[in-house]
Amino acid sequence: MTVTLIIVALAILLAFYVISIYNRLVKLRTTVSEAWSGIDVQLKKRYDLIPNLLETVKGYATHERETLDSVTQARTAAQSAQGVAEQQAAENNLNRSLMGLFAVAERYPDLKSNTNFLQMQKDLASIEQDIERSRRYYNGSVRDQNILIDSFPSNLVANNFGFQKSAFFELDSITERSVPKVSFK
């Protein structure tokens, strides 16, 4: 009788432990989704600012059509990117295009001193900082989830219930890890 009670008690404890791990995995998966949503919101803010920035530059830099088209194409590609890896590649391309746009702006003193352009630069710098904070939060959530998925014994529960590791959202090169310079003083 006591052996049976011990076995039943151990089975109940094991069941509660498995349920606890499962719930932690669900919580972390939800946290990762919520963190990605935060990145998505910040990226949308940036995408909404870019057309206004392009219109301001067009007024001064009419001979820079290729650069302006490059930014427009990169923005469109970034908006339609699906998944972390595709979004990461599209954002890298958009950052390069924006850097090229600001390099063009250097050649136009009137543009560099335009109040609208200066305000948009400040707004973009602020959004870039928000994106960086959102990226850090997302990557921290992914790290926590991936550790739990890889750790024993939680990996047994994760594998049995089909939990998958999430990808980090990172920039590829060291030079692109910094916020694009948007100050023309």
List, for the chain, all residue ranges whose pLDDT scores fall below the cut of 50.
Answer: 173-176, 184-185
- Report the pLDDT value the prediction gives residue 15, as an integer from 0 to 100: 96
- Report the pLDDT value the prediction gives residue 64, as an integer from 0 to 100: 80
The total domain count for the chain is 1
**How many CB atoms are closer than 10 A to CB 75?**
22
- Report the pLDDT value the prediction gives residue 176, as an integer from 0 to 100: 47
17 contacts 152 by C-beta, under 8 angstroms: no
3-state secondary structure of 28: helix
Domain extent for 112: 30-177
Q: Is residue 4 part of a domain?
A: no
- Report the pLDDT value the prediction gives residue 181, as an integer from 0 to 100: 56
- Report the pLDDT value the prediction gives residue 182, as an integer from 0 to 100: 55
| pTM: predicted TM-score of the whole model, two decimal places | 0.81
Q: What is the DSSP letter of 166?
A: P
What is the average pLDDT value for the chain, to the nearest integer? 89
Q: Is residue 9 part of a domain?
A: no
Q: Is residue 124 part of a domain?
A: yes
Q: Is residue 17 part of a domain?
A: no
Q: Is residue 20 part of a domain?
A: no
| Residue 70: CATH number of its domain | 1.20.1440.20
Q: Is residue 10 part of a domain?
A: no
Instruction: For residue 46, give the nearest of 80, 78, 89, 87 by alpha carbon.
Output: 78
Instruction: For residue 108, give the nearest of 56, 61, 50 by alpha carbon.
Output: 61
In whole angstroms, give the CA distance from residue 79 to residue 70: 14
- Report the pLDDT value the prediction gives residue 88, as an integer from 0 to 100: 92
